[in-house]
Structure 1
Amino acid sequence: MSIYIYNVLTRKKELFVPIEEGKVKMYACGITASGDAHIGHAYQSVIFDVIKKYFEYKGYEVTYVRNYTDVDDKIIAKGNELGIDPQEYANNQIIKTDFELNKIGNDKATVQARATENINEMIDFIDKLIEKGYAYATEFGDVFFSVKKYPQYGKLSNRVVENSISGVRKDVEPGKIDNEDFALWKSAKKDEIYWEAPWGKGRPGWHIECSAMSMKYLGETIDIHGGGKDLIFPHHENEIAQSEALTGKKFSNYWIHNGLVKLNGQKMSKSLGNGISIKELLDLYHPDVIRFILLQNNYKSDLNIVDGIFEEVEKHLYNFYKTFAAIDNLEVERQCKIQSNELSINMENEFNEAMSNDFNTAIAISNLFKYFDTMKGMLGKKKNACDLKLIKESIIKTYVILGILQYDPKEVVDEIRNKYLKKYKVTESEINSLIEKRSEYKKNKDYENADLIKKQLLDKGIVVLDGRSGTDWDVNIAKEN
């Protein structure tokens, strides 16, 4: 099945045609290690992790490069604030971020490139741009790219040069010829980390990092380049300008950009103090809950985190894993020999139909609800045991690409249930004692007191479930505090 991608460069959905048959070269701009990774970082990294996984699922050999910016003004300031070497601070943040991204189900990129490990490549890149007349060094030791020398500037963001600096922070940069020119090399300030270069001591500008590392690990032209849509301008626009000015070749054939994260409709920012770190989320929710939320949205759209969304998704996943656990407990009289059935075949077809259409994880996730509804309807009939086990395994096999529903069902159910028992400050023994008392009331036809206990339990966040085989209970995740 062919894969179609919305290409931001051409502003239309296009058939994916790789540079080299059977291979994909993909670069995604990663994280600046200046603080704790937040849900916005998680959104972008999960999207590109899934894209990589889907290409692999379709048989492609994927070389996926993801970078860390481990030197910049904020990292230097943070290191100085904490009284440690900025590089040590950045390294600690990268280790922490890697752990958190792995915890939410991301594979490591093929290459995790760090800016400080590729300084020589950046210096060489800049030197060649100066030789070609696209860049100039100032008397102060800075180097700038001359935007006017590159006529196609603005083709990604659809901006004209005269308007290219609109909405962009303007720093005071002595020696810069035109306002729209951007820094390739920044001269070192006093007591600041630096590298020796032909123009003086300093460090690379942000934009040059990704171009140099992309070329080093993937070549002059790559299949896919991407990141959050906030990088379209100026970062990715500048990457295209400096890369194509250097090589005279197309930098990337396809550009993919994911939306941003909002909290209750408001842009997430440090100034507003409304950020949510990945660590905070992992302390509160199972990794599947986080990943499910990030993928139930069309990747090109902004993701709006509203109050209660985590609990809502947690309830869905709790019920999904409960269904899996119930299937695991089914007994079969014979060895299941069925290798496929209509539902499992349709499931894989529907998954591919969604994902091959610009990686539509939103549809792939929404389809899960009908699959689980079907399974729950089949659970009461013993003859369906083999079919149910097959469907469960098909879901696990297919949705590994999204990185969800891969955990032990009983462990997830117990984890979420125990979390809510603790939250509601009620114990299993207390619940069982009240249910036993309620059963006595019902046995004696004292339905009024039986109903009072049922309400008492509900007030504690416990739902009583009466069935043919007796009375059971469960936590009420939707309970309001």
Structure 2
Amino acid sequence: MLNIYNTLTRQKEPFTPINPENVRMYVCGMTVYDYCHLGHARVMVVFDMIARWLRQSGYPLTYVRNITDIDDKIIARAAENGESIGDLTGRFIQAMHEDADALGVLRPDIEPKATENIAQMIAMIERLIAKDKAYAADNGDVYYAVREFAAYGQLSGKSLDDLRAGERVEVDGFKRDPLDFVLWKAAKAGEPAWESPWGLGRPGWHIECSAMSENLFGDTFDIHGGGADLQFPHHENEIAQSVGANGHSCGHQHGGKTIESHVKYWLHNGFIRVDGEKMSKSLGNFFTIRDVLKQYDPEVVRFFILRAHYRSPLNYSDAHLDDAKGALTRLYTALKNTMPSENPSDLENDYARRFMAAMNDDFDTVQAVAVLFELANEVNKTQNAELAACLKHLAGIIGLLQRNPTEFLQGGSVSDGLSNEEIEALIEARKQARADKNWAESDRIRDELAAANIILEDKAGQTTWRRA
């Protein structure tokens, strides 16, 4: 039985989908005005892992991850670059896909764009106004009336009174209440705009996901995910919009009461931190995925993310990535030394049972990866091809260990080292030196390779190598 930590109820709960024949998961995706950083990589990898596990568990899943292709940052960056918004967002959507593909992230089933769903957003705003949950202001904007949704604050645990006094509340003379948030923005000169009942304008950010998820999934669905930073206000606002517009909740019970939410399970991954602070563009302490991949194999980065629990903070540093590289190398070395059988027959052994139990406990990849290391140790001791196949199969469930071991072990960055061809030539020269009994030259070549972080293994007259 799969148990999931539900941010909304702050506890682990058995996963019982609304319709077991049609499990629906929506994840807030990227705003495409720049290259994705490692914080984005964590969202992509974590929810890819969750989607893989749901499917492995037999659930027919539809996975949606949206693309925000219109907002203030996009407009500003396009103007700064002197290019059209379409050209800017097109470039960075392609770059996002390239980064995700490199990390072994499977494409979502559907990737809706905000600009393709403006009509759905306008229709939802009209319903909110009709139900007195929203109002058009004198400046042409439309606002959500937060105090008209009594359950506001349930996801983040914030009360309306606390929020009223909080620092995150904007001062806007056109709002009826400082807590109210914008649903539709009146057009400004030179900005892209769409026709609406309130004049030319464009949608606010929060309405996007409410309208797109409703369009694809209907009034309610099973799982909504994203980074922890979206819990408030973005996801809080989504609940207010979706339930406010439709009057429907998922029917989930907690504490003897029906929760006012259109989503049954809310999942949030933890931050990536650098020197104790959240990685973000606004702080200027972010590392783009493609810059990190210049130094580290993409699977090392994926492994770095998955060896931590998805809800825990994840500390970024070269030392942590180096450690992840060494750990993944140990797993691949076990597969290199013992060729897995092609059709494993024993996938119900104790290792597999404990791996499955870990994944069913709120996607606990920490314990699942620990099982992989136990299994690799046993493979190294016994040279058992069936266990090696089990190791490869279990790791494959979360998108690891599917490459040729030699290709992984001999791969990696060579920007400041030797190419594969140069290594092979030095090994041949060492082989000749050994044949000539020129031990000094043989040792010199071995030392040169060691200085370049190349490890040689001499077995049965054959020399193999890997990068440290």
**TM-score with structure 1 length normalisation?**
0.87
Q: 1:293 aligns with which of 301, 304, 311?
A: 304
Shift of 1:367: 1.5
Q: Structure 1 residues 166, 404: closer, same or farther in 2, change over 3 A?
A: farther
Alignment counterpart, residue 283 of structure 1, candidates 273, 294, 299: 294
Moved more, 313-322 or 432-441: 432-441
Where does 1:304-383 land on structure 2 (aligned, <5 Å)?
304-328=315-339, 340-341=345-346, 345-379=349-383
- Residue 260, structure 1, aligned to residue 271, structure 2: yes
**Deviation readout 1:206-231 (Å, 9 max, x if unpaired):** 11100111111011111111111111
CA distance in 2, matches of 1:410, 1:462: 13
Matched residue, 1:3: 2
1:63 aligns with 2:74: no
Q: Which residue of 1 aligns with 2:236?
A: 237
Q: Name 1:15's counterpart in structure 2.
A: 14
Give the one of 453, 463, 466 matched to 1:461. 453
Q: Which amino acid is the alignment partner of residue 433 of structure 1?
A: A
Q: Equivalent residues in 2 for 1:77-476 (5 A)?
A: 77-164=76-163, 169=168, 171=170, 173-250=172-249, 251-328=262-339, 340-341=345-346, 345-379=349-383, 387-388=384-385, 390-416=386-412, 421-422=417-418, 427-434=423-430, 437=433, 458-463=450-455, 465=457, 469-470=460-461, 472=463, 474-475=465-466
- In structure 2, C-alpha distance between the alignment counterparts of 1:193 and 1:126, rounded to whole Å: 19
The 1:166/1:69 distance shift into structure 2, 3 A limit, reads farther
In the alignment, structure 1 segments of 5+ residues that lack a partner are 331-335, 380-386
- Between 1:426-435 and 1:217-226, the stretch displaced more is 426-435
Change (3 A) 1:357 1:146: same
Deviates more, 1:416-425 or 1:118-127: 416-425
Cα displacement string for residues 244-278 of structure 1 (whole angstroms, at most 9, x for unaligned residues): 11122221111111101112433213344321111
Per the TM alignment, residue 294 of structure 1 is displaced from its structure 2 partner at its CA by: 0.8
Tell which structure's C-alpha radius of gyration is larger: 1
**C-alpha spacing 1:79/1:169, structure 2 compared with 1 (3 Å):** farther
User: Does structure 2 conserve the Cα–Cα contact (< 8 Å) formed by 1:344 and 1:394?
Assistant: no
Q: 1:424, 1:461 within 8 Å by CA — same for their partners in 2?
A: no
| Gap regions ≥5 residues in structure 2 | 250-261
**SS of 1:25's equivalent?**
strand
Change (3 A) 1:278 1:172: same
Residue type of the partner of 2:234? H
In structure 2, distance between residues paired with 1:404 and 1:339: 17
CA RMSD of aligned residues (A): 2.7
Distance of aligned partners of 1:271 and 1:167 in 2 relative to their CA distance in 1, 3 Å threshold: farther
Residue 47 and residue 37 in structure 1: after superposition, are their counterparts in 2 closer, same or farther (change >3 A)?
Answer: same
Preserved CA contact (<8 Å) 2:133 2:244 = yes
- Indicate how the Cα distance of structure 1 residues 97 and 457 shifts in structure 2: closer, same or farther if over 3 A, else same: closer
Superimposed CA distance per residue, residues 312-358 of structure 1 (whole angstroms, 9 cap, x where no aligned partner):
22223233323323333x9xxxxx798534x8622321221011111
Taking a change above 3 Å as real, the CA distance of residues 265 and 442 of structure 1, as seen in their structure-2 partners, is: farther
The amino acid that maps onto 2:63 is: Y
From the superposition, tell whether residues 166 and 62 of structure 1 become closer, same or farther in structure 2 (CA, over 3 Å): farther
Structure 2 residue matching 1:47: 3-state secondary structure: helix
In the alignment, the residues of structure 1 paired with residue 342 and residue 272 of structure 2 have an alpha-carbon distance, to the nearest angstrom, of 46
- For 1:398 and 1:97, how far apart are their aligned partners in 2? 28
Mark the CA change 1:40 to 1:337 in structure 2 (over 3 Å): closer, same or farther: closer
**Residue 70 of structure 1 contacts residue 90 of structure 1 at CA under 8 Å; is this kept in 2?**
yes
- TM-score, with structure 2 as normaliser: 0.89
Task: Report the count of equivalent residues.
Answer: 456
Partner of 2:258: none
Q: Give me the whole-angstrom Cα distance separating, in 2, the residues matched to 1:337 and 1:279.
A: 34
Shift of 1:293: 0.7
